[in-house]
């Protein structure tokens, strides 16, 4: 495709169409010029290719491998896992005709309550950046693009649609942008997805410094910047800032504004051309018909178990693990049968297979015995999707009450108690000193059950290391009293994120960053420095094959790492090269703005704030009862994975409605909630009925889309 020739032939109407998406996941085709429609799909830990025109979570999707989530893969400290997983996901993309995968999620884990932490790698920029880059390389090596998301400072969910992240330049540059910078420079992702929130007052989608100054001019990014779904506010400002593609599109207002702005000269057509050029190049590089080769679903399922086993973190072990295959076990906990293996929200996958711990134990012929006769009790505990999801932050860091009391009860029997955890993010572990062992699986993907059994019975040796600190209590977390509570999220702790904070202030933690046990033992020499290189020799001094991670910290920061796999008695020397370039010093100052007034209602108000006025309340209730209806429908479905997914989808919809703004809802709803209707609803909520109705009855006029034109 000769992109320049095509661009030269395009009308302004066609350009305005090309820079916005259609049918939720696609780019707008231009049949007259032979420009096809590119297909994107979530992401990030497997494919959620929805059947039909799609939505943000409810509709069923094509079966695909639900790989371990980022929270899990990060604890493997092994970029190769991410590379192989990326290749496998790309094969599935090719099969379903998906051209760009929406992921990986590169945001820093700033607070353990962020509902979306399961989709992010780490509290450390180097670890997150290295693993993210490896996944990008894996996916793109198979001819499928990626979208690094969510750029940037999208570290909480409660106010993600309109929140304002107030942070210093130092925190922004040295912590939050770093993983993106690393992946952009190293792996050249096809696209970057800009986040919903504002940074120091400016929406990411209108942030020229972020999208052009830093991303393109400083880091050399030459791909497409797309918006998160509904993240555009002012389309013209966004184009000027460097946002190429508005997603999901089908918003008459955006095309109207572009056409008007070009006509009245307030938008330079060169800015529009730049965006079109980027999009055309992306389509040219990644568009291709679906592959006819069926992915090797079984091999991908095996890869899930292999990666999950490599990433699980053994947090405590008094010697009870590995379990003797002949030992009598009392097995309990809801998650034994209903393993939580993936997160809730836009990343939800319809798995090809599902192996719970119960399935894997049954395959091994292992069944529960009565408590009083057992050698050990194994409890499968953790968070369910009711507690942790995209769209809202967790309310606290606790495990459900019934799980805690069951663990207490078991400890009182004097039996050995093994706790197996499933979670997307740290939880308080008040029982840590009382139990014999804790094995943390995070959210291990569809074949997590096989991995758990392999680890518990010693066929595999745990080697995961925490990619985030596990605090003793939530109150120990910096910013715990303000996190997720206001539209202005103040990053008061600056660069003291995660272990940087706990170490500096000597705050005791439950399990530190980088920690994880093994069934074997290792000895490590001190790091030896030679110019920019540092070397360490790791020896397996125990009796089992196992893996250890050499971790180099300089000035309290992780500066390099490598995982080594060693037979008993074997040694390997790891060498890490450190960039000794001059570090730029950025300012720690920043201004904390006042939160905007809650009244009058505006297009940017949080949906739940609508309840402040009489008509707003009616509107709010109407929307919520629609979401409740979806939940009721899901609850009536026959038991099974489909029902679970439908319930998760409906809950997600409720959360999304609650935390959204009318503007963002309208921008992500395509034709279902046009901008004039959203604006009318704002007027009505403020008691201006006539003005509101007039707006609702005056649709925004735009030319037909190129795909609707008769050829
Ligand atoms: C999420 C993105 C996702 C997109 C499309 C948004 O709400 O934040 O991560 O890729 O929806 O489903």
Q: Give the tokens for residue 241.
A: 């800032």
Task: Name the domain boundary from 288, 317, 352.
Answer: 288
How far is 60 from 74, CA to CA, in rounded Å?
A: 28
How far is 452 from 440, CA to CA, in rounded Å?
A: 9
How far is the centre of ligand 1, averaged over its atoms, from the C-alpha of 652 (Å)? 12
With beta carbons less than 8 A apart as the criterion, state whether 608 and 620 touch. Answer: yes
How far is the centre of ligand 1, averaged over its atoms, from the C-alpha of 486 (Å)? 22
Q: So what's the pLDDT on residue 239?
A: 98
Domain contains 701: yes
How far is the centre of ligand 1, averaged over its atoms, from the C-alpha of 327 (Å)? 46
Domain contains 270: yes
Verify whether residue 310 is a known catalytic residue.
no
Q: How many CB atoms lie within 10 A of CB 687?
A: 14
With beta carbons less than 8 A apart as the criterion, state whether 332 and 377 touch. Answer: yes
This prediction has a pTM of 0.97
Domain contains 243: yes
Domain contains 481: no
Q: So what's the pLDDT on residue 711?
A: 58
Based on the structure, what is the number of domains in the chain?
A: 2
Task: Name the domain boundary from 229, 257, 288.
Answer: 288
Residue with tokens 């629609």: 626
Q: So what's the pLDDT on residue 582?
A: 75
For residue 681, give its domain range: 607-708
Q: How many CB atoms lie within 10 A of CB 572?
A: 15
Domain contains 89: no
Q: What is the pLDDT of residues 422-470, one digit of tens each?
A: 999 999 999 999 999 999 999 999 999 999 999 999 999 999 999 999 9
Nearest-CA residue for atom 9 of ligand 1 = 346
Q: What is the pLDDT of residues 581-635, one digit of tens each?
A: 778 889 999 999 999 999 999 999 999 999 999 999 999 999 899 989 999 999 9
With beta carbons less than 8 A apart as the criterion, state whether 566 and 540 touch. Answer: yes
Nearest atom of ligand 1 to the alpha carbon of 119:
9
How far is 97 from 40, CA to CA, in rounded Å?
A: 9
Nearest-CA residue for atom 5 of ligand 1 = 229
Q: How far is CA 634 from the centre of its chain?
A: 25
As a whole number, mean pLDDT of residues 35-60 equals: 83
Task: Name the domain boundary from 288, 310, 341.
Answer: 288
Share of the chain above pLDDT 90, in %: 90
Pocket test for ligand 1, best of 40, 56, 204 (most atoms within 8 A of CB): 56
* Angle at CA of residue 102, ends 97 and 106, nearest 5°: 150
How far is 245 from 51, CA to CA, in rounded Å?
A: 23
Nearest atom of ligand 1 to the alpha carbon of 196:
8
Domain contains 623: yes
Nearest-CA residue for atom 4 of ligand 1 = 229
- Mean pLDDT rounded to a whole number for the chain: 96
Q: So what's the pLDDT on residue 58?
A: 52
Nearest atom of ligand 1 to the alpha carbon of 149:
9
As a whole number, mean pLDDT of residues 187-216 equals: 98
As a whole number, mean pLDDT of residues 529-547 equals: 97
How far is 106 from 523, CA to CA, in rounded Å?
A: 33
Residue 463 CB contacts under 8 Å (≥ 6 apart), including other chains: 76, 310, 516, 518, 546, 547, 548, 549, 563
- 200: region left, alpha or beta (phi > 0 left; psi from -120 to 50 alpha): left
Q: What is the pLDDT of residues 367-388, one digit of tens each?
A: 999 999 999 999 999 998 788 8
Could you tell me the CATH number of the domain that includes residue 27? 3.20.20.300
How far is the centre of ligand 1, averaged over its atoms, from the C-alpha of 294 (Å)? 27
Domain contains 622: yes
Q: Give the tokens for residue 152.
A: 């940037």
| Nearest alpha carbon to residue 119 among 69, 184, 85, 78 | 69
Flag whether pLDDT at 57 surpasses 60: no
How far is the centre of ligand 1, averaged over its atoms, from the C-alpha of 233 (Å)? 16
Higher pLDDT, 277 or 655: 277
How far is 549 from 311, CA to CA, in rounded Å?
A: 12
As a whole number, mean pLDDT of residues 521-527 equals: 98
Using CB distances shorter than 6 Å, the residues near ligand 1 are 42-43, 56, 102, 149, 228-229, 346
Flag whether pLDDT at 56 surpasses 70: no
Nearest-CA residue for atom 3 of ligand 1 = 346
Active-site entry in 42, 55, 124, 228: 228
Flag whether pLDDT at 54 surpasses 70: no
Pocket test for ligand 1, best of 43, 228, 661 (most atoms within 8 A of CB): 228
The partner residues of 149 in beta bridges, in order of sequence, read: 105
Q: So what's the pLDDT on residue 110?
A: 98
Q: How confident is the model at residue 491 (pLDDT cuts 50, 70, 90)?
A: very high
Nearest-CA residue for atom 6 of ligand 1 = 229
What 27-31 contacts at long range (C-beta under 8 Å, 24+ apart), as own/partner pairs, is 27/245, 27/279, 27/283, 28/249, 28/705, 28/706, 28/707, 29/706, 29/707, 30/6, 30/706, 30/707, 31/706, 31/707, 31/709, 31/711
With beta carbons less than 8 A apart as the criterion, state whether 652 and 347 touch. Answer: no
Range with the lowest mean pLDDT among 47-56, 366-375, 610-619, 647-656?
47-56
Domain contains 249: yes
Share of the chain above pLDDT 70, in %: 99
Nearest atom of ligand 1 to the alpha carbon of 150:
9
What 673-682 contacts at long range (C-beta under 8 Å, 24+ apart), as own/partner pairs, is 674/251, 674/252, 674/253, 674/699, 674/700, 675/251, 675/252, 675/253, 675/700, 676/253, 676/700, 678/603, 679/603, 681/619, 682/601, 682/602, 682/603, 682/605
With beta carbons less than 8 A apart as the criterion, state whether 232 and 254 touch. Answer: yes
Q: What is the pLDDT of residues 237-264, one digit of tens each?
A: 999 999 999 999 999 999 999 999 999 9
Nearest atom of ligand 1 to the alpha carbon of 42:
10
Q: What is the pLDDT of residues 634-645, one digit of tens each?
A: 999 998 877 887
As a whole number, mean pLDDT of residues 123-152 equals: 98
How far is the centre of ligand 1, averaged over its atoms, from the C-alpha of 346 (Å)? 6
Pocket test for ligand 1, best of 24, 42, 55 (most atoms within 8 A of CB): 42
How far is the centre of ligand 1, averaged over its atoms, from the C-alpha of 177 (Å)? 19
The partner residues of 314 in beta bridges, in order of sequence, read: 439, 517
SS3 labels along 590-640 = CCCCCCCCCCCCCCCCEHHHHHHCHHHHHHHHHHHHHHHHHHHHHHCCCCC
Q: Give the tokens for residue 283.
A: 């389509």
Q: How confident is the model at residue 209 (pLDDT cuts 50, 70, 90)?
A: very high
Q: How confident is the model at residue 50 (pLDDT cuts 50, 70, 90)?
A: confident
How far is the centre of ligand 1, averaged over its atoms, from the C-alpha of 228 (Å)? 6
Q: What single string gives the DSSP state of each residue in 213-233?
A: IIIIIIT---SEEEE-TT--S
Pocket test for ligand 1, best of 156, 205, 346 (most atoms within 8 A of CB): 346
């Amino acid at each position: 495709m000769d992109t320049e020739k095509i661009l030269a032939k395009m009308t302004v109407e066609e350009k305005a169409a090309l820079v916005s998406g259609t049918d939720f996941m696609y780019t707008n085709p231009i049949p007259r010029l032979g420009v096809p429609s590119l297909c994107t799909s979530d992401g990030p830990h497997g494919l959620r290719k929805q059947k039909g025109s799609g939505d943000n979570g409810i509709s069923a999707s094509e079966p695909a491998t639900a790989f371990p989530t980022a929270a899990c893969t990060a604890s493997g400290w092994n970029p190769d896992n991410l590379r192989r997983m990326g290749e496998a996901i790309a094969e599935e993309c090719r099969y379903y005709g998906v051209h760009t995968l929406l992921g990986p999620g590169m945001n820093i884990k700033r607070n353990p309550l962020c509902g979306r932490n399961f989709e992010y790698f780490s509290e450390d920029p180097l670890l997150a950046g290295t693993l993210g880059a490896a996944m990008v390389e894996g996916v793109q090596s198979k001819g499928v693009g990626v979208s690094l998301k969510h750029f940037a400072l999208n570290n909480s969910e409660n106010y993600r649609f309109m929140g304002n992240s107030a942070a210093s330049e130092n925190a922004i540059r040295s912590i939050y942008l770093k993983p993106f910078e690393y992946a952009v420079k190293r792996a050249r992702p096809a696209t970057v997805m800009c986040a919903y929130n504002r940074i120091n007052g400016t929406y990411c989608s209108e942030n020229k410094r972020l999208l052009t100054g830093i991303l393109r001019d400083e880091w050399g990014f030459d791909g497409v910047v797309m918006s998160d779904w509904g993240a555009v506010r002012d389309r013209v400002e966004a184009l000027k800032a460097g946002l190429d593609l508005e997603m999901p599109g089908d918003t008459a207002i955006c095309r109207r504004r572009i056409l008007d702005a070009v006509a009245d000269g307030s938008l330079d057509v060169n800015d529009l051309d730049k965006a079109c050029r980027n999009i055309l190049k992306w389509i040219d590089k990644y568009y291709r018909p679906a592959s006819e080769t069926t992915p090797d679903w079984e091999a991908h399922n095996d890869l899930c178990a292999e990666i999950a086993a490599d990433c699980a973190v053994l947090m405590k072990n008094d010697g009870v693990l590995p379990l003797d295959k002949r030992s009598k076990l009392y097995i309990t906990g809801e998650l034994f049968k209903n393993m939580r293996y993936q997160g809730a929200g836009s990343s939800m996958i319809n798995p090809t297979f599902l192996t719970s711990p119960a399935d894997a134990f049954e395959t091994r012929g292992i069944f529960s015995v009565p408590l009083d006769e057992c050698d050990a009790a194994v409890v499968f505990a953790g968070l369910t999707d009711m507690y942790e999801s995209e769209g809202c932050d967790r309310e606290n860091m606790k495990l459900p009450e019934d799980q805690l009391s069951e663990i207490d009860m078991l400890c009182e029997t004097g039996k050995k108690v093994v706790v197996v955890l499933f979670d997307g993010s740290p939880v308080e572990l008040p029982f840590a000193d009382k139990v014999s062992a804790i094995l943390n699986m995070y959210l291990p993907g569809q074949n997590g059950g096989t991995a758990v059994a392999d680890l518990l019975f010693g066929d595999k040796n745990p080697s995961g290391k925490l990619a985030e600190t596990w605090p003793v209590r939530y109150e120990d977390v910096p910013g715990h009293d303000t996190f997720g509570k206001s539209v202005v999220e103040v990053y008061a702790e600056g660069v003291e994120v995660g272990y940087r904070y706990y170490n500096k202030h000597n705050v005791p933690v439950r399990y530190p960053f980088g920690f994880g046990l093994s069934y074997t033992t290792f000895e490590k020499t001190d790091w030896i420095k030679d110019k920019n290189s540092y070397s360490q020799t790791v020896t397996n001094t125990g009796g089992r094959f196992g893996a250890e991670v050499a971790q180099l910290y300089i000035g309290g920061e992780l500066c390099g790492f490598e995982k080594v796999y060693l037979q008993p008695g074997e040694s390997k020397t790891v060498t890490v090269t450190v960039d000794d370039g001059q570090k730029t010093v950025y300012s720690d100052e920043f201004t904390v703005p006042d939160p905007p007034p809650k009244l009058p209602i505006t297009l940017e108000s949080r949906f739940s704030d609508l309840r402040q006025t009489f008509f707003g309340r009616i509107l709010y209730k109407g929307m919520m009862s629609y979401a409740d209806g979806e939940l009721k429908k899901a609850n009536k479905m026959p038991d099974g994975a489909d029902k679970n997914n439908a319930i998760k989808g409906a809950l997600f919809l409720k959360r999304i409605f609650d935390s959204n703004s009318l503007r963002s809802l309208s921008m992500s709803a395509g034709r279902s909630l046009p901008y004039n209707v959203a604006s009318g609803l704002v007027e009505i909520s403020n008691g201006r009925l006539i003005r509101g109705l007039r707006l609702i009855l005056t649709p925004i006029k735009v030319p037909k889309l190129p795909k609707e034109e008769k050829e």
